[in-house]
Structure 1
Amino acid sequence: MKSYKKIAILLTAAIGILGASSCKKLLEQDPKASITPQFFTTSGGVLGGITGVYSDMRNLWGTEGFLYYTNSGVDETLVGGGSSTGGLAFGTYSNYVNNIGDVYNGLYGIFGIAYQDINTLNGVLQYGPTAFADVPTRTAYLAQAKFLRGFYYFHLLETFGSIPLHTNFITTPTLSDTRAPLADIYAQIIKDLTEASTELQNKPGETIASTGAASPFGGHSATKASALYLLSKVYLTRGWSAAAQSTDFQMALTTAQTLITNKGTYGVGLYASYADAYLEANDATNTEDLFAIEHSTDPKYGNYTASPSSGAVNGWAWFYRPNYPTVNPSYPSGSTGGSVMTRDLANGRPFFRVRPNADYIENVAFADKTNDYRYWNTFQTTWISNTANITTPRGTLTVGADTAIWMPPYDPGATKRAAFKGIVFLRPSLIATATGTNANPYTTSFFPSCKKFDDPLRPNVNDASQRPNVLFRFSEVYLIAAEAAFKMGDNTTAAAMLNVLRTRAAARPSTAPAAPTNAVTNMQITAAQVTLDFILDERTRELYGESLRWWDLTRTQSLVRRVQQYNAEAGPNIKDFEVLRPIPQTEIDLVTVGPKITQNPGF
């Protein structure tokens, strides 16, 4: 949503609620800033609470710690050369248990931030009804809180397993707490999201009928479509879990199909071309964006800081970028002649925190690059010369015309490589068979870059992205439906859902080479081809790098198997118990009365 400037009281007194963390957070505050129940009995208090929660999300999604949390140590990525010590631990499962102490910062921020915000939302829902005389207005506001509470509890549950469950606003510190049964947590999440799916606005900023006023929740805030998406995913996840109910997969499928059927009502739908879903020009009205976190240079609505290196910023335009400005004309031998490329807005700030797992990406997930154009829409493989007077052993590069760096997902052959004036990089498995000159392997610093999140319109070269960080995409609804149908044994429906995306995947931008005339036909699959691994590979093709992969693999009980199968860095280290994250130790230690909260097995 277009997040209102966060009220100062919320910045200092959103109280954490796990055990004595409530006491700790409360005692650190100036008592004049504490939130009281009366605060939420005003419309301004309700609005401030909800928008404060939206603002807090910038501390999670889009940050470096959250990148490691969701996209490291999986099948589709490897560790980048610029990764931090914590990122290396998450990416390789080495010394992984040493990262369990940090609650409010870094990799485990979700635990502390989520419980602070849940308590704020509990206050909104418990006391907010008295703030509005008008029922439709009250319903629209409180539905946002229900959605956000369900959202946070779901991510806590799928990350840590059973966790404490609180639905009342906590004002009195306590030194005890317990984990709730999984069944109870799921029931509360489903209750919140079911109600939100009927009470939220159809579209962001939609007029509240009784007052004629526009809802203050515009931009990329939650809508009915957001709630239906998440509700279908919650049913899907519970269906795989120990708390499964017999109707879960059917409910996941039915809920996803309801969203698909009513996409016109909600103003959502697939673009004709996959590339259009990621165009910066479409950000404000993206029909595939079901829920996103705002970022902006407007000081009233964003957290803009010039050239930051950390903080509540959207770094997705940085983290996948290779260190392209350090490639010299004679790479890999010598260092004379400067760099073939200069860091610029178009090519981005290179943080190179994660990199594609090239053999899986290029040989398995995106093996078909002729009919399926999603590889080319996802990865940047060429860097056009932007630096004058650069001469390699094969010739002088012309700015704006010659390709300075080329990373083809195939070996173009010795003749083409020898004639190419720039620097060629190939995935390591191709180097073994490549002959001739000018063939260098991908490394932890040099690799094809995920380009879907690029932001060439940011103010300065080293600025973070000002684009919204999209959490829910409409295309994933088809993948949720396919997985649910597959689990029900209905592979015909699963194939039909997947074929919607695969048909679209054959389309390509007008600037690209024309697709084969039979590309759409070649992209269709049959019911017999639907397997869990096919669905997971399709998720990579459709959603590579989008803060989902670790949860996708843990939900489907595939993390350990697929990491061992595809990830040479992490496979030897991963243990069966690492399908959950460890509860931050500082939270466990703060429970000093009654039974301790037990750590997840293995940690």
Structure 2
Amino acid sequence: MRYINKTLVCGALSMLALMGTTSCGDDFLKEDAGHKVTDALLEDETGALKMAAGLYGNIRWHFGYEWAYGITLYGCDEFTNGADLTAEPWNTYDNRLNALDCTPALGAANKNCPAVSALWDEMYYGISTANLVIDKAVNVQNEDSRNKALGEAYFLRGYNYYRLFCQYGGVVLQTEPANGVVRKFYDRATEDETLAQIISDLENAYQMLPKDKWRGNGTWTKYTAAHFLAKALLYRQSERCASWAGKYDKNADLTRAIALCDEVIAACPLAPDYWDLYAKWTGVDCKNEGLSEILMAAEHNEDSSTQGRFGNRTYNYFDPQFSNFSGGWVQRGQYIGGMDFQRCRPTEYAYSVFDNVNDARMWKTFKTVYGLNHANKTTEAVVAENGIKAEQMPGIGDEGIIFILNKKDDHRFDGEPYGTFGRGGVPHSFVNPLTGKWVPNAFPTFMGGKYVLFNYGVSGNTATSNVFCGINKTADGSRTGEKGDAHRDVIMARSGETYLVKAECQVRQGDYAGAINTINILRARGQWKNGEDRSYYTDGSMAFLKSDGGDKDNSTAAAQAVKKNKDFTGKVLTNTEAYYASMTHKNTYYLSTGIAETTEASDLQIKSYTQLPAEDEAILKEIGATSDYDRMLNFVFNERTRELLGEWNRWDELARTGLLVKRAKAFNPEAAPNVQDRHMYRPIPQKFIDTLQNEDGTNLSDAAKKAWQNPGY
């Protein structure tokens, strides 16, 4: 069992590279590898707490590379692939998604395709370290320190097993340190046994962890454990466990989960404004990283010793490929908070599920405007090529790319009365009626009652379009290199999701009115507030400059832009000038909705579960949800999209409820042809199975290996 043994034997020692101090501070994940691992150290108060601090390093793995989105967001209803096909098998469910790690030799587009074995290996790596802490820290004399160290170890072990369970089902349960013993014989636990272990570990963490963030931002607390314990109890009463969970009292599990949710909700209130969670990120360790709503985050910072292999790469995955399709009018650089790797392209569903007039979350999530930051052609050339007037020519800082997030029944753009739409490399004549300026790249979402946004990609293939409106939740203006690691924390759990866990429990108890009341609290935050400017936009790019809301100026701010951005006189812009040109702080709200300007509050409140919003009714009709239960369960998942779009858990949640296949078929054209019930589980990594032996040391037979594998692989 080479791969698990590698982690069980060596994991604890390797983790020392991320050992943290035990002092309270805004960021405790700092390198401190000057001590040695001995049993005596782990039984010492200071040593045990340092070892427990090192556990936090394991969760950073989730966001260090392509698996961040491949195993969590692809193949679902919210996102599909763009033109880059690095992780395509995870989205299309074709025959390349099997028990073997997909390499170029096996059909991968490149060597970065997420390996099937990646999560398996890394979660056991963390489990091995947690086992070591649990085994030794029980001997720490100080009760407070002992409970803190043990609580963190139990939490990580429970969390890692939860991630394994969500993806693979029953797995190997290893709860003792390896102590240098190499084993190749293991039994695979049942799903029941695996989830029971998860619940036990999270219960221990819940009982032992303090309520306060004693290490500083990022500390796992009693409420972090409560949130995941509630999710685990809900999981046991979900559709994927229906064949064996009948022996557990459904009402008892759900009632306990609701009580845990209520405890979290009371202690960890929502941020006042949805902006605060993601868009108003002002720099490394900024105050919004300490919001009470945040229950768990993978910490990152500027310290080079805590970057490296698993630095924060998430800013790469959500922007369209603007540097390719924009015709040169919009150049990329670190002054733009995201890179245009165009991995996660929102589906038609992801746009349609929002009330684009009343739901502020849509406009605080989607980046609809990129400012023109490079004068690619002269006015004379643009006028001649696109049939516009000279006075309609845009300047630096005007709209370079716009996405119009309109509705299917919006016919204002039918017949293209404001000129033809298109990307920068193709002649088109669209002039924004609200600005009177030609826009080098202008794209509606719907026209003529049809979804058209995916028609504008460079390839001409709607299945690999590089034109889409991306989301801003990972934008980071603190990067000092265009492709350098991001420095912002990645939120992994927040009490906004806790409301949705509670609401689903209520749905499963038949309390539909209660579920609506719970969700209405989230929707109240998502409404426009009185006096709010609905046309305003910002995102984490703002960290680039102090003068625009960042905590400090980026160290590259005064340098010339890497892409040699030029104005219409031929002057090369500095990064600061390129930033101000790119960050317009405007969205396309009024162009997209067609409503008159207003600063009045909006209303997202739902009066009854029998009268759901029009957006939801259209979706429910599309998937054939007719019973009260099916309607309400799917409504909760629609609300999960509106609240949690892109927040790294969609595949797990859809697989848990048995909604994966139906919703992927309905809303993800690239997944629809291949997705089937077997895909609610991932294949057990073949390279792990091939290392197993029988208890007597003989190799497994082919039949025994097949018995280890999930059905259909």
Distance, in Å, in 2 between the alignment partners of 1:463 and 1:69 is: 23
Q: 2:292 aligns with which of 287, 290, 294?
A: 287
8 Å Cα contact 1:92/1:570 also seen in 2: yes
Number of the residue aligned with 1:602:
712
Q: Hey, what does 1:569 align to over in structure 2?
A: 670
- Taking the TM superposition and a 5 Å limit, the aligned residue runs for 1:66-145 are 66-84=68-86, 87-98=87-98, 100-101=100-101, 106-130=115-139, 132-145=140-153
Counterpart of 1:236 in structure 2: which amino acid? Answer: L
Asked if 1:198 is matched to 2:207, the reply is yes
Contiguous gaps of at least 5 residues in structure 2:
17-35, 104-112, 420-429, 433-437, 536-596, 613-630
* 2:171 maps to 1:163: yes
The equivalent of 2:573 in structure 1 is none
RMSD across aligned C-alpha pairs, in angstroms?
Answer: 3.1
CA offset at residue 221 of structure 1?
Answer: 1.9
Query: Using a 3 Å threshold, how does the CA distance of structure 1 residues 524 and 319 change in structure 2: closer, same or farther?
Result: same
Q: Distance in 2 between matches of 1:31 and 1:351?
A: 35
Say whether the 8 Å CA contact 1:326–1:339 is kept in structure 2. Answer: no
Separation of aligned partners in 1, 2:127 and 2:505: 29
Among 388, 404, 414, which residue is 2:400 paired with?
404
Relative to structure 1, is the Cα distance of residues 431 and 64 closer, same or farther in structure 2, using a 3 angstrom cutoff? farther
Shift of residue 492, structure 1, vs aligned partner: 1.5
Pick the aligned partner of 2:511 from 485, 490, 509: 490
The DSSP-based 3-state class of the residue aligned with 2:304 is coil
Query: Following TM superposition, by how much is the alpha carbon of 1:433 offset from its aligned partner in structure 2, in angstroms?
Result: 6.6
Tell me by how many angstroms 1:156 deviates. Answer: 0.7
Contact 1:37 1:123 in 2 (8 A): no
CA distance in 2, matches of 1:263, 1:566: 32
Distance 1:226-1:316 versus aligned 2 partners, 3 A rule: same
Does structure 1 retain, via aligned residues, the 8 Å contact 2:664–2:671?
yes
With 416-425 and 223-232 compared, the bigger mean Cα shift is at: 416-425
Matching residue of 2:374 = 387
For 1:570, give the aligned amino acid.
A
- Cα 1:36–1:589 change in 2 (3 A) is farther
CA distance in structure 2 between the aligned counterparts of 1:459 and 1:64, rounded to whole angstroms: 21
Give TM-score, length-normalised by structure 2. 0.71
Q: What amino acid does structure 1 have at the position aligned with 2:393? A: T
Q: Deviations over 1:288-346 (max 9, x none)?
A: 2100010111135x21x5xxxxx4122222200111122345xxxxxxxx434444423
CA 1:47–1:248 in 2, change beyond 3 Å: closer, same or farther? farther
Q: Which shifted more, 229-238 or 90-99?
A: 90-99
The one of 21, 24, 44 equivalent to 2:3 is 21
Task: State the shift of 1:501 in Å.
Answer: 1.0
Q: TM-score, normalised by structure 1?
A: 0.83
Contact 1:70/1:548, CA 8 A, preserved across alignment: yes
Q: 1:176 is matched by which residue type in structure 2?
A: F
Residue 39 of structure 1 deviates from its aligned partner by 5.4
Is structure 2 residue 636 aligned with structure 1 residue 535? Answer: yes
Distance 1:389 1:190 in 2: 58
- Residue 335 of structure 2 is matched in structure 1 by 345
Range that drifts further, 179-188 or 231-240: 179-188
Counterpart in 1 of 2:321? 323
- Matched with 1:214 is none
Alignment partner, residue 534 of structure 2: 512
CA distance in 1, matches of 2:351, 2:12: 55
Alignment of 1:141-156 (within 5 A): 141-156=149-164
Whether contact under 8 Å (1:425, 1:440) holds in the other structure is: no
Which amino acid is the alignment partner of residue 354 of structure 1? Answer: C
Whether the 8 Å contact between 1:102 and 1:109 is mirrored in structure 2 is no
Could you list the per-position Cα deviations for residues 521-546 of structure 1 after superposition, in whole angstroms to 9, with x for gaps in the alignment?
x5324133461111111111110111
Shift in CA distance, 202/403, structure 1 to aligned 2, threshold 3 Å: same
Alignment of structure 1 residues 98-497 onto 2, 5 Å? 98=98, 100-101=100-101, 106-130=115-139, 132-171=140-179, 172-205=181-214, 217-240=215-238, 241=241, 242-244=243-245, 245-248=247-250, 250-261=252-263, 263=265, 266=267, 268-278=268-278, 279-281=280-282, 282-300=287-305, 302-303=306-307, 311-329=309-327, 338-357=328-347, 359-363=348-352, 365-366=353-354, 368-388=355-375, 390=377, 391=379, 392=382, 393=386, 394=388, 395-400=392-397, 402-410=398-406, 413=413, 414-417=416-419, 418-420=430-432, 421-426=438-443, 430=447, 440=456, 444-497=465-518
Question: How far apart are 1:35 and its partner, in Å?
Answer: 6.5
User: How big is the shift at 1:455?
Assistant: 1.0
Greater CA drift, 34-43 or 409-418? 34-43
In the alignment, what sits opposite 2:657? 556
Structure 1: stretches of 5+ with no match in the other structure:
1-18, 206-216, 306-310, 330-337
- The one-character-per-residue Cα deviations of 1:225-272 (angstroms, maximum 9, x if unpaired) are 1011000000011111144254345534544444435655x4x21123
Number of equivalenced pairs: 546
Secondary structure in structure 1 of the residue aligned to 2:400: strand
Q: Retained in 1: the 8 A contact 2:318–2:338?
A: no
Query: How far does residue 188 in structure 1 lie from its aligned partner after superposition?
Result: 1.9
1:49-104 Cα offsets, whole Å, 9 max, x none, are 323332122222352123101010101111121231xx111111112334634799
Aligned-pair distance for 1:24? 5.3
Change (3 A) 1:502 1:95: same
